[in-house]
Amino acid sequence: MSLADFGLIGLAVMGQNLVLNVESRGFTVAVFNRTTSVTDEFVAKHPGKKLIGAKTLEEFVQSLKRPRKIQIMVKSNAVGAADRDAVDAVIEQLIPLLEPDDIIIDGGNSFYLATERRDAYLASKGLRFIGAGVSGGEEGARKGPSIMPGGPASTWEVMKPIFESIAAKVDGEPCVIHIGPGGAGHYVKMIHNGIEYGDMQLICEAYNIFKHAGFTTDEMAAVFNQWNEGDLQSYLIQITGKALEQKDPETGKSVVELIVDKAGQKGTGQWTLLNAAENAVVISTINAAVEARILSSQRQQRLAASTELQGPAVSLGSDKAALVQKVHDALYASKIISYAQGLDLIKTTGEKKQWGLDLGRIAAIWRGGCIIRARFLNRITDAYRGNPTLVNLMLDPFFKDVLNKTQQHWREVVSLATLNGIPVPAFSASLGYYDSYRAARLPANLLQAQRDFFGAHTYERLDKPAGEFFHTDWPEVIG
Ligand code: NBP
């Protein structure tokens, strides 16, 4: 067989599906997996496909056309810039086998600062590197994911034909662009995951309200299916409807209602929170979503507290149709806030790192292939195409109008849930952000007084020019 156009290391679920995707576009693909039997079984399972299975890395490297294009899809669990994981192990094994200008692509969920370290390290060895976030799970990898590659523009140009052919397409546009240099691709993937956390939690809060209002799972499924035809149309709403419809063959009960209410997480949400704190950007919706997963995982404590700490009697009324409309609006508004916050974080970091990010194009590649794909991403794309320097998504005319129209129902839902003791941390964090952001005057004047009182931190005055600082001789407090 002739030399391969593309090589992939790591034949777990993502790797295998990506290989089949690349091969289906007419490319010959060389494959390698640490455990050789996995490679053998994979190649044997796909007779007639343009696959070259290699038993050693040497054999793998020699089977590739130059400059070699090698994608690593192995477990990535480094949580700091300096942490080493399987990606580093594979890179170290590859370096002595490669030649100048060969390209290594890390397509795993790597921490963006580890990507920056690897980028600099490989450049010092005369090799090229792309850190690419890949979203869409198993199905996306096979049929067309959303890809967020970062690295030198000249390296992207070499990879562009393969990436564009395997990515999902929306209106004929591939869901992949060159995000920016260095760790920009993995950074944007990290925030994408943070937004995904926000979306999922908001949907769960809507479900929880319906459940407390006495909806059956079939009734809830019907609501989500209907929402998927409108403004909220998205992959996550769609799978929520389908999940709620699913019955357990053993008991006939709803599968969702049989699942233990303890959420797992792999870390990208927490990375997003840490990064937001470092950059002083508010992402309260995503924060609430990550914390909701943490609290859910403390199930034993919650079970004990449920018999100790009191809440109100639940009474959500009997007008289910009205409740559905109100929750729809609360979800729509909160979702806008979640994206506004995530994009604000991307914008802030992008400017600090001078990555030259294009938020409109980033939103455009999330329209297909990835987990957060949603109809309203078209509107986000339009918002930034219309105004590339948009300060906050909430101020775009379309989103401003939606928020102004939905805010009353949003408040009613947060109030109703709170009065009934139903936790809605992401709905209420989103509303708190909205109300704080639109407040012409916040109580931070009193906060400044407190700071000046105990620490002589000084303050500015409304009736004096900005930049002039004052201190008051506050009364002494004894005891
Ligand atoms: P896993 O994250 O489960 O990784 C398994 C693969 O890593 C196997 O091929 C394994 O080889 C290989 N591997 C390990 Br573990 N340690 C290795 C080492 N020291 N040297 C060489 N190979 C090693 O696979 P996955 O779920 O397909 O995910 C791959 C990447 O894609 C991860 O970074 C993940 O975060 C990311 N991702 C996953 C999804 C998803 O939906 N699963 C979505 C988006 C991104 P072995 O067979 O010899 O053990």
Q: Where are the beta strands (DSSP E) in 193-261?
A: none
Q: Are 190 and 112 in contact (CB under 8 A)?
A: yes
At residue 158, does pLDDT exceed 70? yes
Both structure tokens of 402:
């939606």
Mutate which of 13, 32, 34 to test ligand 1's pocket (most atoms within 8 Å of Cβ)? Answer: 34
- The string of DSSP codes covering 391-424 is S-GGGSHHHHHHHHHHHHHHHHHHHHHHHTT---
Residue 150's identity, in one-letter code, is G
Residue pointed to by tokens 């290699």: 54
At residue 12, does pLDDT exceed 90? yes
Q: Are 34 and 41 in contact (CB under 8 A)?
A: no
Residue 237 CB: number of other CB atoms within 10 A? 25
At residue 83, does pLDDT exceed 90? no
- Ligand 1 centre distance from Cα of residue 74 (Å): 3
Please give the angle made by the CA atoms of 230, 364 and 403, to the nearest 5 degrees.
Answer: 45
| Percent of the chain at pLDDT exceeding 90 | 96
pLDDT for 408-447, tens place per residue? 999 999 999 999 999 999 999 999 999 999 999 999 999 9
At residue 357, does pLDDT exceed 70? yes
At residue 125, does pLDDT exceed 80? yes
CA dist 413 and 132 (Å) reads 39
The CATH classification of domain 447-479, taken from the options 3.90.1300.10, 1.20.5.320, 1.10.10.10, 3.40.50.300: 1.20.5.320
- The SS3 call for residue 253 is coil
- Backbone φ, ψ for residue 386 (5° rounding): -70, -35
Closest atom of ligand 1 relative to the 15 alpha carbon: 27
Whether residue 76 has its Cβ less than 6 Å from ligand 1: yes
Task: Report which DSSP code applies to 126.
Answer: T
Task: Report which DSSP code applies to 95.
Answer: G
CA dist 466 and 479 (Å) reads 36
- Ligand 1 centre distance from Cα of residue 17 (Å): 12
Cβ neighbors of 85 (< 8 A, separation 6 or more) are: 75, 76, 77, 78, 114
- Ligand 1 centre distance from Cα of residue 200 (Å): 24
Q: Which of 23, 116, 196, 205 is labelled catalytic?
A: 196
Q: Are 127 and 98 in contact (CB under 8 A)?
A: yes
Both structure tokens of 6:
């593309």
CA dist 55 and 39 (Å) reads 8
Both structure tokens of 457:
């931190």
Both structure tokens of 432:
């708190």
Give the mean model confidence (pLDDT) for residues 124-153: 96
The pLDDT value recorded for residue 1 is: 62
Task: Report which DSSP code applies to 176.
Answer: B
| Residues forming CATH 3.40.50.720 domain(s) in the chain | 6-182
The pLDDT value recorded for residue 265 is: 84
Q: Are 127 and 105 in contact (CB under 8 A)?
A: no
Buried b / exposed e along 440-458 (16+ C-beta atoms within 10 A): eeeeeeeeeeeebeeeeee
Residue 5: pLDDT band by 50, 70, 90 thresholds? Answer: very high
Which fold would CATH assign to domain 6-182?
Answer: Rossmann fold (3.40.50)
Known catalytic membership, residue 189: yes
pTM for the predicted model, two decimal places = 0.95
Sheet holding 69-72, edge to edge: 51-53, 29-32, 6-9, 69-72, 103-106, 128-135, 146-150
Provide the CB-side half-sphere exposure for 164 (13 A, CA).
Answer: 10
Alpha-helical (H) ranges within 106-152 are 112-124, 137-143
CA dist 336 and 267 (Å) reads 23
Task: Report which DSSP code applies to 22.
Answer: H
Known catalytic membership, residue 196: yes
Task: Report which DSSP code applies to 31.
Answer: E
Residue 351: pLDDT band by 50, 70, 90 thresholds? Answer: very high
Question: Cis omega before residue 67 (within 30°)?
Answer: yes
Q: How far is residue 97 CA from its own chain's centroid? A: 35
Write the class of the CATH domain 189-438: mainly alpha
| Residues forming CATH 1.10.1040.10 domain(s) in the chain | 189-438
Give the mean model confidence (pLDDT) for residues 235-254: 97
Q: Are 146 and 176 in contact (CB under 8 A)?
A: yes
Q: Give nearest CA residue, ligand 1 atom 40.
A: 137
CA dist 186 and 179 (Å) reads 9
pLDDT for 41-72, tens place per residue? 999 999 999 999 999 999 999 999 999 999 99
| Residues forming CATH 1.20.5.320 domain(s) in the chain | 447-479
Long-range Cβ contact pairs of 210-219 (< 8 A, separation 24 or more) = 210/323, 210/324, 210/327, 212/314, 212/316, 212/420, 212/422, 213/316, 213/317, 213/320, 213/323, 214/316, 215/320, 217/244, 217/245, 217/254, 217/256, 217/257, 218/244, 218/245, 219/320
Closest atom of ligand 1 relative to the 93 alpha carbon: 20
- The SS3 call for residue 174 is strand
CA dist 99 and 168 (Å) reads 32
- Ligand 1 centre distance from Cα of residue 83 (Å): 17
Whether residue 12 has its Cβ less than 6 Å from ligand 1: yes
Residue pointed to by tokens 């929306």: 170
Range of weakest confidence among 74-78, 175-179, 190-194: 74-78
